[in-house]
A and B are shown apart, each in its own frame.
Chain A
Amino acid sequence: MRLEKCWFCSSTVYPGHGIQFVRNDAKIFRFCRSKCHKNFKMKRNPRKVKWTKAFRRLHGKDMTQDSTFEFERKRNRPERYNRNVTMETLKAIKKIDKIRVAREARHHTMRMKGKKGMEQKAAARELEQDISLVKAPLALREKSSLTLSKIKVKASQPQAEYPMEE
C-alpha cells in the first residue's frame, strides 16, 4: 500500500480513491478526485490554478524548503518489516507533522505581518477622502462630529473647516 500524491493538487491519494491515467509514453498521472481529473483533461496548468499546492508554493504562499519535507521523500527500496521500527516510525510521523504544522503557521504569520497596519492606514485614508460617498458634504459641515478633522470648529466659522470635496 502506498500513499500517492495527486498530480494536480498535490494532496495525498489514499487507497480506494482516485483515478490513474496512463499516457502512451508510460507516464502515470494520479488524481485524488474527479475535480483534479477534469481540470487535467481541460489542459489546465496546475501552476496557474489558485487552489493547488503547486501554485501556492510557486507564489510563496506556502513554505517551500524545510527539513520536515525530507522525511516524506519517496523511497523505492522495500524495508524488511521490523515491529520496533514500525512503532518508532508511527510516533515519529506524529511528531514531524506537529512540527511541520507549527512551521507552516509561523510562515503564515510572517507573511501576514504588517497587514493590520496597512488595513488601518487604508481605512483612515478612505474615511478622510471618500466620506462624501456616505454623507453629503453639507451635512458634514453642520455636524462636525461626523468628520475626522483634528481641529474641532463650530459650524458658524466656515473658513476654518476642511472642504470635504477635493
Chain B
Amino acid sequence: MAAFVASKWSKVGPPLLDNLRSSRLLEPFGKFQDIASPGWNGLLFQQLRTFIQMRTKLKVVDNSGAKWVRCIQALKGRKGARLGDTIIASVQEAQPRGKVKKGEVVYGVVVRAAMQRGRCDGSEIRFDDNAVVLVNKQGEPIGTRVLGPVPHELRRKKHLKILTLAEHIA
C-alpha cells in the first residue's frame, strides 16, 4: 500500500512538487492556486496579498536613516495593519549617520501596501510594495522627505504632514 502510494507520487515530477510543498509551508498567509486547477503554471506568481502583521518587512521611504523595518505590532485591527494605519516596528537596517539606529523600536505609518484597500467611491487601490514612514508618538514624521507615491487615505487619518512632504499623491 505504501509502495503503491510512493510510486504514484514519484510520477508527479518530484522536484516541482517539493518546491511547491516547501514554499507552501513557509508562507502560511500567501495563497497559491491549487495544483489541480487548470493553468496553475501561469498563475503561480499571483499571490493573494494580506495584512501587515508581526514580522512583516517594510521598506522605509523617508530620510530618517532607517532602510527597512520589521513590524512588531499593528496598532489597530485584529488581523493586521492596512494602508494608512500605524504600526510599531523595529529597525532592522539603518544608514550609519541617521536619526534612528538599528534595533530601535519606532512607530510608523503605512504609506504603501500591496494589499488592496477599498475607497469610499467603491474602487480599490493597491501599490507595488509595503512601505512605511517613521513617525513619533504624536504622529509627526521623523524624517524631512518622503519618497514615492502616497495615498489619499492619509488625509482621513490626519497625517497631513506626510502629505505635504510627499512628491506624489495617488
| Interface residues, chain A, with chain B CB atoms under 8 Å away | 1, 13, 15-24, 26, 28, 38, 41-42
Given contact pairs A15-B121, A26-B149, A42 touches B42 in the complex (Cβ within 8 A): yes
Given A24-B149, A41-B46, A42-B42, answer yes or no on A19-B168 (Cβ-Cβ < 8 Å).
no
Count: A-B pairs, CB below 8 Å = 53
Identify whether the interface residues of B are mostly helix, strand, loop, or mixed.
loop
Interchain nearest-CB distance for B126 vs A (Å): 6
Interface residue? B34 (CB, 8 A): no
For B167, the chain A residues whose CB sits under 8 A away are: 26
Please determine whether A22 and B123 come into contact, CB atoms closer than 8 angstroms. Answer: no
B residues with a Cβ closer than 8 A to A are: 42-43, 45-46, 112, 116, 121-129, 148-149, 151, 167-168, 170
Contact between chains at A22 and B149 (CB < 8 Å): yes
Asked if B126 and A19 make an inter-chain contact with CB atoms under 8 angstroms apart, the answer reads: yes
Which of B43, B123, B128 has the largest number of chain A CB atoms within 10 A? B123
Q: How far is the CA of A26 from the CA of B151 in the complex (A)?
A: 11
On whether the beta carbons of B46 and A23 are closer than 8 Å, the reply is: no
Q: How close is B117's CB to chain A, nearest CB, in angstroms? A: 10
Could you say which of A15, A23, A38, A42 contacts B123, with CB atoms under 8 Å apart?
Answer: A15
What is the distance, in angstroms, from B82's C-beta to the closest C-beta of chain A? 15
